[in-house]
Amino acid sequence: MKCLGKHRGWAAAFLPLCWLFLKILQPGHSHLYNNCYAGDKVIRFIPKTEEEVYALKKISHQLKVDLWQPSSISYVSEGTVTDVHIPQNGSRALLAFLQEANIQYKILIEDLQKTLEKGSNLQTQRNRRSLSGYNYEVYHSLEEIQNWMHHLNKTHSDLIHMFSIGRSYEGRSLFILKLGRRSRLKRAVWIDCGIHAREWIGPAFCQWFVKEALLTRKSDPAMRKMLNHLYFYIMPVFNVDGYHFSWTNDRFWRKTRSRNSRFRCRGVDANRNWKVKWCDEGASMHPCDDTYCGPFPESEPEVKAVANFLRKHRKHIRAYLSFHAYAQMLLYPYSYKYATIPNFSCVESAAYKAVNALQSVYGVRYRYGPASTTLYVSSGSSMDWAYKNGIPYAFAFELRDTGHFGFLLPEMLIKPTCTETMLAVKNITMHLLKKCP
């Protein structure tokens, strides 16, 4: 039996049955998804002509592929690197079509289930639940992350204050860590991870950032200065419902988990739900699409809670950093239009220095620039909203890799990814302290 949780359309109605099946057969091992992805493939193609673009869009709709890159089929044009996850029963048809049409392709992942199982590396389980020896080089469930946050709140009360800014659609607390030495009228940096559920490297970085801050604050003058002069508001998991769902039912779930009164499809793209050119180019009005913008701006309680918090504190918050995957990019506004931001030179300089610092560690190259030209045009994003609401430094990171592993970045790459990203974030933060008014 295939797990129905990974299907985005009509099959979503049967998710409760699938979940019951999972719980009965594999208690404690739901992260292996009950063989849900056996034989599934991830295939990359780059259309070279308008005819190929049209043909690929048509076959993708027919086969209902799970698009990994870009986030919407509407973004596919000549030269667009396109990665699709196709179930076993559709992969033969897709490959036959590509061969018949003489469209070049590359199979990135031959069997998704085997890759999942290889990546799970059950030996790493031994350190997951010991908070004193918390393992930052494995992926953690939502429960583990929130227990870790509670633990730090108790053991590092001089530097960390944990609080909730609201509840998710399914009633989970939206926890924030406030990090920094206590003083009045300090400027602040907001960091969020996991706005898209399947991008697990994001929450891993947020945890890594906190760990590094606590470990190096005495030995590293730059970190000491950052914590003395700034507060960091860190949200390790923005999309708590979706992230939990990606651990229990569908590893490749992207959206929130809100219900729609007219459709059985669930969830909204939390990075298309902000009140900045809402539901314009790059967002979908259809609830079954991965880029669904929602019924209205800030319809998602998670988005509403963060927007309210940022509005309340925008006089002090001088930088907004959001962590995504995958593409290896550092993006800044605008995302919703082709235009130059007023403080372009300052932001561009910060981005340039950040990607150079990142590259200095392992030689990993990041592209950087305005999101609209570097990635694609998308409306209703958190980054654009933050910038339009007075936060002068707004960035979105697309972390490793460029598609070899995609959303299944192995745990062995958590440390190098976070180590290099840490340098980029410190660079932006120091730039902020020196330059930003």
DSSP state of 385: H
Which tokens in the block code for residue 178? 């406030």
- DSSP code of 124? G
User: For residue 27, what are the CA distances in angstroms to 32, 36, 129, 205?
Assistant: 11, 15, 17, 28
Cα distance between residue 149 and residue 177, in whole Å: 7
Rounded CA Rg of the chain: 21
Residue 437 burial (CB count, 10 A): 6
Residues contacting residue 225 through CB under 8 Å, at least 6 positions apart: 430, 433
CA-to-CA distance for 355 and 300, rounded, in angstroms?
33
Number of H helices, E strands in the chain: 13, 12
Please tell me the distance from the alpha carbon of residue 20 to that of residue 220, in angstroms, as a whole number.
50
Q: Which residues partner with 394 through β-bridges?
A: 320
Cross-strand bridge partners of residue 321? 191, 395
Q: Do 260 and 12 meet the contact criterion of CB atoms below 8 Å apart?
A: no
- Identity of residue 403: G
Alpha helices in 75-187 (DSSP H): 88-100, 112-120, 142-155
Report d(CA 133, CA 131) in Å as an integer.
5
Of the residues 144, 300, 398, 420, only one is catalytic, namely 398
Q: Is 348 a catalytic residue?
A: no
Catalytic positions: 398
